[in-house]
């Protein structure tokens, strides 16, 4: 897990993020991946297609190991998206399932 430096904890704006249905208060400057690393750590961040657990490696848009579902859209790069109030995040444990039948409507 990561935690906030004490001197910055007070003076920064916060937003509410819904992570797997649970509300979380996080710093407004964080990326989605950074917020997850702070709130939950790197365990159970994402399951890779080979069945192994993965978590963010680079935090700068290169490695794609931070893939996460943001507002219903699977496999977004969590390190590139800055949190917004009310954003819904789902960790991909296991990988997101598409619903081909459902979207034919």
Partner 1 sequence: MSENPTSSQVAEVAIIGAGPSGLTAATRLTKAGLKPVVFDLNAAPGGQVYRQVESPQADLRVTGIDYRLGQRVVEAFRRARVDYRPDSRVWWVQRVDAGFELGVLHEGRSAVWRARRLILCHGAMERPFPFPGWQLPGVMTAGAAQILLKQGGLLPEDAPILVGSGPLIYLLGWQYLQAGHPPTCILDLTPRLQWRLPLRQPGKAWHARGYLFKGLKMMLALKRAGVAIERDIEALEAIGDKVLEQIRYRQRGHWKQRPASLLLSHVGVMPETHLTRSLGLTHRWHAEQQSFLPVRDDTLSADENLWVVGDGAAIGGAVNAMREGTLSALEVIASYHGLTKKERHERDGLRRERARDLCARQLLDAMFLPSLNIDAMPEETIICRCEALTRGDLDQAISDGAEGPNQLKAFTRCGMGPCQGRQCSLNATLLLSRRLAQTPDQIGQWQIRPPVQTITLGELATSSMVENRVT
Partner 2 sequence: MRQDFFIVGGGVVGMAIAYGLARAGQGVTVLDADDTAFRASRGNAGLTWVQGKGVGMPSYAEISLDSVQAWPSFALELQQRTGLELEYEQRGGVDLCLDEEEAHARRTEYRELQAQSERLRRDFHWEYLDREQLLPFLPGLGERVAGGTWSPHDGHCNPLYLLRALHAACRRLGVDIRQATPVENLARTESGFRATLRESHVEAERCIVAAGLGAKRLAPQLGLSGDVFPLRGQMLITERMPRVEQLPTPQIRQTATGGYLIGDTHERVGHDKGVTLPMLQTLADKAVRIFPFLRSTRLVRAWAALRVMTPDGYPLYERSLTHPGAYNVNCHSGITLAAFHADGLAQAILDDRIHTHFSQFSGARFHVPSTP
Task: Kindly report the backbone phi and psi dihedral angles of residue 13, in degrees, each rounded to the nearest multiple of 5, phi listed first.
Answer: -65, 150
Q: Contact with partner 2 (CB under 8 A): which of 38, 40, 75, 88?
A: 75
The two structure tokens encoding residue 1 = 């897990």
φ/ψ (deg, to 5) at 6? -55, -40
Among residues 73, 80, 82, 85, which is the contact residue for partner 2, using CB under 8 A? 73
CA 75 from centre of chain: 10
Q: Is 10 in the site for partner 2 (CB under 8 A)?
A: no
Shortest distance in whole angstroms from residue 15 CB to partner 2: 23
CB of 103 to partner 1, least distance (A): 11
Residue whose token pair is 């978590």: 55
Residue 37 binds which one of partner 1, partner 2, none, with CB within 5 to 8 A depending on kind? Answer: partner 1
**CA pair distance 21, 5, nearest whole angstrom:** 27
Chain residues binding partner 2 by CB under 8 A are 49, 73-75, 95-104
């Amino acid at each position: 897990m990561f935690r906030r430096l004490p001197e910055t904890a007070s003076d920064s704006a916060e937003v509410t993020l819904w992570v797997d249905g649970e509300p979380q208060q996080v710093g407004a400057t964080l990326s989605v991946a950074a917020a997850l690393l702070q709130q939950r750590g790197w365990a159970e961040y994402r399951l890779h297609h080979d069945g192994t657990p993965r978590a963010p490696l680079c935090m700068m848009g290169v490695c794609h190991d931070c893939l996460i579902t943001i507002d219903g859209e699977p496999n977004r790069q969590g390190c590139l998206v800055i949190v917004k109030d009310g954003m819904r995040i789902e960790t991909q444990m296991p990988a997101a399932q598409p619903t081909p039948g459902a979207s034919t409507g």
